[in-house]
Chains A and B, each alone.
Chain A
Amino acid sequence: MLPLPLRFDGNEWFIILCTVFGFLCVSLLPKRYPRAVSTLVVLFVVSVAIVLDHSIMTPPLDMYDINDYKKYELMDVVTYFMYSPFALLSVYLYDKFHPKGFALVGYIIGWSALAEFFEWLATLFHVYTYTTWKLPYSFSVYLVATTLQMVFFRYTMKYYDRHNLKPETSPQ
C-alpha cells in the first residue's frame, strides 16, 4: 500500500537525520510549556503540511513529487515530521522572547527564510522534485504557515491558562 524507497540514498538519509537531530535538539531544551501544547503544535504543523502537499502534489495539480515515487510512499510519512522540530523551536523562542510589532514581523520572516533555506537543502537531496512548482513560491506558503502556527500557539496557551490547566497555576 505504501511503497518502500526505491533506493535508500541521499533523500532518505536527509529526512531521517534531520528528523532525529531536530527532535533530539528540541528534547534537550529546558521545559517551557506543557507537553499537551507541544503535541498540538506538532499535530498542527503535520496537518498543514499534509493538507497543502496532498492538495497540490496530487493530480490534477501535480506540482511536485516527494521522494522516489509519484505515488505516496512510506518515507513521505516521515517527511511530514521533519518540519516539526523547527515549529517547536520557533514557538519555544516565541514564548521565551515574546516579540511584538516589527520584531514579530521580523521573527516570522526570519523563520520563513530558514524554512525556505531548509527546503532548498531538501531539494538538493532530491526530497522534493518540482514539476510546475518553484522554490520562491514556498516562501509565501511559509509566511502564512508560520503566522498561523504562532496564532495557534498563542490561542492554545491562552486556552490552557484560561481553563486553569497550567501545572503551576492549577489548584492543588
Chain B
Amino acid sequence: MILDHNVMTVVTLNLGMYQFTESPSDYLALTLVRIVILPLLIVWYFDITSMKAYQKWIWLPVGIAVLIGVEYLSDVLGVFEHTRWNLWWSVIEWFAVFVVLNYAWLWYRKMLRKERG
C-alpha cells in the first residue's frame, strides 16, 4: 500500500503521467482500488505462492498481468486516466514493487525467526 500510493502520487503529481478524476464518486472508487483491491491482490498472491519459493517467480507474470488488468480496467471505467503512460512501464512498476515487497517479506520473516530464538 505504501509503495503503490507513493508510486501513483509521484507519477500523477510530479510526472503528470496519470490524471485523477474530478468526479467524487470515481475518486472514491480510485481510493478503494488503491487502499483495498490492489493491496489485497498482492497479499493474496504472496499467500498462495508462499509454499515454495519458485512458485512466486513462476506465477509472477500472471500476478503482474492481473494487477495491470485492474489498473487498465480502472482507466476504461474512468476511475483515472493514463495520459502519457506506456504499458511496459506498468510491467516495470509492478515488477519493482514485487521485488521490494518480496525482499521486505524475507527480511521480516528472518527477523521474526531470530526473535523466536
Contact = CB atoms under 8 A, between A and B. Distances in A.
Contact of B108 (A3, A39, A60, A77): A39
Nearest to B109: A36
A55 B31 contact: yes
Contacts of A154: none
A133 interface: no
B20 A1 contact: no
Chain B interface residue bracket vs A: 20 to 34
A121 interface: no
Contacts of B10: 1-2, 72
Contacts of A167: 115-117
Given A1-B14, A39-B108, A60-B21, A54 B5 contact: yes
B2 A46 contact: yes
Contacts of B9: 54, 58, 72
Contacts of A35: 111, 115
B36 to A, nearest CB: 10
B47 to A, nearest CB: 15
Interface string A17-53: 0000000000000000011100100010011001100
A165 to B, nearest CB: 6
B110 to A, nearest CB: 10
A49 B14 CA distance: 19
A158 interface: no
Interface residues of A, number: 26
B58 interface: no
Contacts of A36: 108, 111-112, 115
Contacts of B35: 51
Nearest to B16: A71
Shortest Cβ-Cβ A-B pairs, 9 listed: A54-B5, A36-B112, A60-B22, A72-B9, A71-B14, A34-B115, A50-B5, A54-B9, A71-B13
Given A2-B10, A167-B116, 15 more contacts: A1-B14, A3-B14, A35-B111, A36-B112, A39-B108, A43-B2, A54-B6, A58-B9, A58-B12, A58-B13, A58-B20, A70-B13, A71-B14, A72-B14, A165-B112
Interface of B: 1-2, 5-6, 8-10, 12-15, 20-22, 24, 27, 31, 34-35, 108, 111-112, 115-117
Interface of A: 1-3, 34-36, 39, 43, 46-47, 50-51, 54-55, 58-61, 70-72, 77, 165, 167, 170, 172
